[in-house]
Chain A
Amino acid sequence: MERHVRHFQDELDELKGRLLEMGGLAEERLRAAVRSVVERDTALVERVLGGDFAINQLHIEIDDRCFKLLALHQPMAVDLRAIVAAVKINTDLERVGDLAVNIAEAVRRYLQHPAVKELIDIPKMAELAQVMLRDSLDAFVRRDVALAQQVLEQDDELDHLKTKVFRELLTYMLRDASTIEPALDLILISRHLERIGDHATNVAEDVIFMVSARDVRHQ
């Protein structure tokens, strides 16, 4: 059968493009938030705190596009799954943007104190969260179930690192009460990074659902 292009497909491609743009912004903000704590860069902290606008606008625009595509084109099968996945991924990416702001808020407080210790595991967590986020988006673009599966597996490593950070900082706090405030902020930062990993995991699960119609959540 002769294949002909439908403008619906163009609109679907455009939707994916906007979602990637959103992912790029979320990733960029996460990177900036983490760099601000590692490099103790207060100007960067303020930049992250002030720059949520573009992500929020895209959040609304992408939902609006999905809403319209569902209402006007009655998508079926893989197209239907792609749009439902897009709605969910959109929410996850917006939450990543919010969590980057939460990290920056914790960093702002943290930087008012001397460093508790050299940061080792938090940059590791940040790196891992970024890789998971990027891989989940790549998996979305390339419809790559294997890559999405890999993201799901990485989440355990992130959870493990969070527990490790918590235990380690607990010993500092027990030893020296003056470290309690900044150490709590570091724990919060690790908690936010772990949550970002959870959102990347959600994206990966949605990719698997979009491509193969398999629901791998809660397994």
Chain B
Amino acid sequence: MTTLLRPLSTMTTGTARPATPVKIDVQGMNFYYGAKQALSDITIALHANLVTAFIGPSGCGKSTFLRTLNRMNDIIPGTRVEGRVRIDGEDIYAASTDVVGLRRRVGMVFQKSNPFPKSIFENVAYGLRINNLAKARSEMEGRVEESLKAAAIWDEVKDRLHESAQALSGGQQQRLCIARALAIQPEILLMDEPASALDPIATQRIEELIYQLKASYTIVIVTHNMQQAARVSDQTAFFWLGRLVESGPTATIFTNPAEKLTEDYVTGRFG
């Protein structure tokens, strides 16, 4: 009986690197809204098939940073990015990058669910249609069903696919938006406060869904709810005043962070 039954966890050391490959590699990023610098010298590697949570007080830059990962900030006039963001080794800010193609690979879910004023079916089919991703009707139906199932909402809507999406509850609408994002088969899913407008039960369903989706996607989630970050993520990055203070395994960040600032934030001794 002298065999070690299972390897001990790495929690107390906290230095172990994730076993999955790097999906998004950010080096020395600065970001500006006009003259105002919103992010300073961000360097971080986000790993495939893991959930990475960005935490930090309001205005710390976590949402801005999330939006640099699929160039959503491009639509805001006067913004500027320095440094490098690579996805699978490709610089997404290179002149040759097809931004529409990038956003197809890097899907996004927002804080407020925003279904189109169309049927449930059409909400999911829309992205497939405009990207010409499903030719035959049966193929379209198959992909819609698949996406609704992946977003854990199929059983609730399968009998009313052609009713308006606006009639769904807030939590259902958010899962529909996740299904819509999944339909075009992205590799990365960015989620900006995806559960902050939901009640605890709908929140729990979204959290459980995130946990399941990481088997197939790389997930990055911004949340001002620290407990949520602790529950759903594998890696956590703490932002403060536009800087990345610390990132690492979630268990380490919440039990033994390296930086005093991180400790003050996660223990609520901030300010």
Chain A interface residues (CB < 8 Å from chain B): 1, 4-8, 21, 25, 28, 50-51, 53-54, 57-58, 60-61, 64-65, 67-68, 71-74
Contacts and interface: CB of A to CB of B under 8 A. Distances in A.
A53 B1 contact: yes
A167 B247 CA distance: 64
B232 to A, nearest CB: 9
B1 A6 contact: no
A140 B50 CA distance: 34
Given A7-B211, A71-B230, A64 B12 contact: yes
B15 interface: no
B175 to A, nearest CB: 12
Contacts of B4: 53-54, 57
Contacts of A6: 204, 208
B214 to A, nearest CB: 11
B12 A54 contact: no
Interface in B1-33: 1-6, 8-9, 11-12
B254 A72 contact: yes
Contacts of A51: 1-2
B216 to A, nearest CB: 16
Contact of A54 (B5, B8, B230, B254): B5
17 contacts: A1-B201, A4-B204, A6-B204, A7-B211, A25-B1, A54-B1, A54-B3, A60-B8, A64-B9, A64-B11, A67-B255, A68-B9, A68-B255, A71-B255, A72-B230, A72-B250, A72-B251
A7 B230 CA distance: 13
A60 B204 CA distance: 30
A71 B251 contact: yes
Contacts of B211: 7
Contacts of B251: 68, 71-72
Given A51-B2, A73-B230, 8 more contacts: A50-B2, A54-B4, A57-B5, A57-B8, A61-B9, A64-B9, A65-B9, A72-B230
B8 A7 contact: no
B199 to A, nearest CB: 12
Contacts of A68: 9, 11, 251, 255
Interface residues of B, number: 22
Given A53-B2, A54-B2, A54-B3, A74 B8 contact: no
Contacts of A1: 201
A53 B1 CA distance: 8
A65 B251 CA distance: 11
Contacts of A71: 230, 251, 254-255
Closest 7 CB pairs of A and B: A72-B230, A54-B1, A53-B2, A71-B255, A71-B254, A51-B1, A64-B9
A72 B5 contact: no
A1 B171 CA distance: 14
Contacts of A65: 9
B49 to A, nearest CB: 15
Contacts of A73: 230-231
Nearest to B4: A57
Interface string B197-214: 000010011001001000
Given A71-B255, A73-B231, A64 B8 contact: yes
B1 A58 contact: no
Nearest to B152: A4
A131 B6 CA distance: 28
A61 B3 contact: no
Q: Which of A25, A53, A64, A65 neighbours the largest number of chain B CB atoms within 10 Å of its CB?
A: A64
Contacts of A5: 208
Contacts of A4: 204-205, 208
Interface in B24-72: none
B227 interface: yes
Interface string B224-255: 00010011000000000000000000110011
